[in-house]
Structure 1
Amino acid sequence: MSIDPSSIPNFGGQPEPEPSGPTGPVIPDQDLVKQLLDQMELKYVVDEEGDLAAPWEQFRTYFMFRGEEEQQVFSVRTFYDRAHAIESKPQLLESIDDWNRRTLWPKVYSHTNDDGTVRLIGEAQMLIGTGVSLEHFVSSTVSWVRASIEFDRWVVEQLGLEKEIDSAGGDDKNADKNDEKNDDQGDDKNDGED
C-alpha cells in the first residue's frame, strides 16, 4: 500500500489535495506512517521500544500501535519537554482545560515527575483494528501533527513563556519521556487485567 504524494497536506496553509489510493479500508502500520512522514518531509527515528518518533526542538511526537487485532489503536502522543514547577500546576491545569474544551485534539494532560516537575502530554487516538479509509487515516494523522505543533505555540503564548524558550535546557528530556511513556504503557497494558 502506498500514499500518493499529492495527497499529503502541507504545513503552509495551501489547499489540501484529494488523496488517492485503496478505495476500501486499510489497516495502517508503521511503514505507512513512515511513508506519510517522509512525504511530509518530517524527520523521524525508531526508539529502543520500536515506536516511531518525530522530534521537534521543544517536544517529541510518537506514532504508536497498541492492542490486538480488532481492538488495535493508533495513538499519536506528544511529549512536551518544557518542565513546569509544581507550584504552577493549578494555572497549567486551567490552561489545558481551556484547550481541551475548545479543541478536538490533541487532548492534553499533565504528568508530575518524581522530582516534582510537571510536563504536558497531548494525545489523539483512532481505532484501526477493523480498518479505516486511507483518506481518513492520512487527514487525521496530519491534523494531529498540526494540532500538536499549534498547542506548543498556544501554551507558550498563554503562559507567557516566550522568554524561557531561548534559555531552556533539555538534557533530561529522554529520561522524562521514558518515565512518562512507560507509566502510560503500564496503565494501557493493565487495563482489564484484574
Structure 2
Amino acid sequence: MSVDPSAIPNFGGQPDKQGQPQQARKPTGPIMPNPDLVKQLLERMKLKYVEDKEGDVVAPWKHFRVYFMFRGEERQRVLTVRTFYDRPHTIEDKPRLLQNIDEWNHSTLWPKVYTHTGDDGTVRLIGDFQLLLGAGVGFDHFVASVVSWVRAAGEFDKWLVERFGLDKDEPDAADGPDAAGPAEPEAHEEPGGDD
C-alpha cells in the first residue's frame, strides 16, 4: 500500500476569487484532531470509510478494518487506531500466531498486535496504535502518523499472508480499501488486552 505525498490534506487552502487554489496555510500551533479531520485525511488519501453506530470512523479492506476511535475528555483525550484482522484462526493456531506476532512486535514500531479469542474458540488478531492528544498535537505529526499507521496496518496483513501462506489465489489485501466496503461495519469488541 502506498500513499502519494501529494494526497496529504490541504487544510485551509481555499480557492481565490478566480477559483484557483491558494497556497495552503498549515496550522502553526497544536491542533485537536477529531473524526471530521480523520475523514478529510482519508478522503485525501482516496480511502473509503464509513462511520459506525458509536461514531468511530472505519476504513474497510477485504480482510481487515481500521477504526479511528476518540476516547476520553479534555487533556486525557486519546486517539486509538485499532485494526481488526478478520481472518479467523483456530485455537490450535494460537501458539504459532503468538510466536509470529512476538517477532513482529519486537521488530516493528506498529501496529502492536495481539490475539483475541472469542467464546467459540476463534482466534483473531488486533493491532493497536495510540496517540495522546492532550492539549493538541502538531499538524504535520498527526498527518504523518495517520498515513504511517494506515500503511502499517496493511503491511502487517501482507506480512501475515506471506508468513502463513494465506489467500495465495486472492489479490493482495493490502493494495487498498475493499471496493464495495461494508454498508455497516461489523460491531467491534474492545478487548482489555492480550488473551
| CA deviation after TM superposition for structure 1 residue 55, in Å | 0.4
Count of matched residue positions in the alignment of Structure 1 and Structure 2: 165
1:66-145 aligned at under 5 Å gives the runs 66-145=71-150
> Separation in 1 of the partners of 2:7 and 2:25?
7
**Greater CA deviation, 110-119 or 154-163?**
154-163
**Structure 1: any 5+ residue segments left out of the alignment?**
10-18, 167-172, 189-194
Per the alignment, do residues 25 and 183 of structure 1 end up closer, same or farther by CA in structure 2, a change over 3 Å counting? closer
**Structure 2: any 5+ residue segments left out of the alignment?**
10-23, 172-181
Per-residue Cα deviation, 1:114-145 (whole angstroms, up to 9, x for no partner): 11010000010100021100000000010000
Q: Taking structure 2 as the reference length, what is the TM-score of the superposition?
A: 0.77
Q: In the alignment, which residue of structure 1 is the partner of 2:19?
A: none
> Separation in 2 of the partners of 1:21 and 1:83?
43
Q: In the alignment, which residue of structure 1 is the partner of 2:26?
A: 21
> Separation in 1 of the partners of 2:30 and 2:131?
14
1:158-177 aligned at under 5 Å gives the runs 158-163=163-168
> Separation in 1 of the partners of 2:151 and 2:133?
21
**8 A Cα contact 1:7 1:20, kept in partner:** no
Identity %: 61
Match among 36, 55, 59 for residue 54 of structure 1: 59
**8 A Cα contact 2:7 2:45, kept in partner:** no
Name the amino acid aligned to 1:111: H
> Separation in 2 of the partners of 1:183 and 1:40?
27
**8 A Cα contact 1:77 1:124, kept in partner:** yes
| CA deviation after TM superposition for structure 1 residue 49, in Å | 1.2
| CA deviation after TM superposition for structure 1 residue 23, in Å | 1.0
| CA deviation after TM superposition for structure 1 residue 7, in Å | 6.4
Secondary structure in 2 matching 1:64: strand
Match among 146, 153, 157 for residue 158 of structure 2: 153
> Separation in 2 of the partners of 1:77 and 1:183?
9
> Separation in 2 of the partners of 1:160 and 1:183?
28
User: Does residue 43 of the first structure (1) align with residue 48 of the second (2)?
Assistant: yes
> Separation in 1 of the partners of 2:113 and 2:25?
32
> Separation in 1 of the partners of 2:122 and 2:67?
21
Name the amino acid aligned to 2:133: I
Per-residue Cα deviation, 1:10-58 (whole angstroms, up to 9, x for no partner): xxxxxxxxx9510110110111101100000000000111111000001
Select the structure with the greater relative contact order (CA < 8 A; seq sep ≥ 6): 2
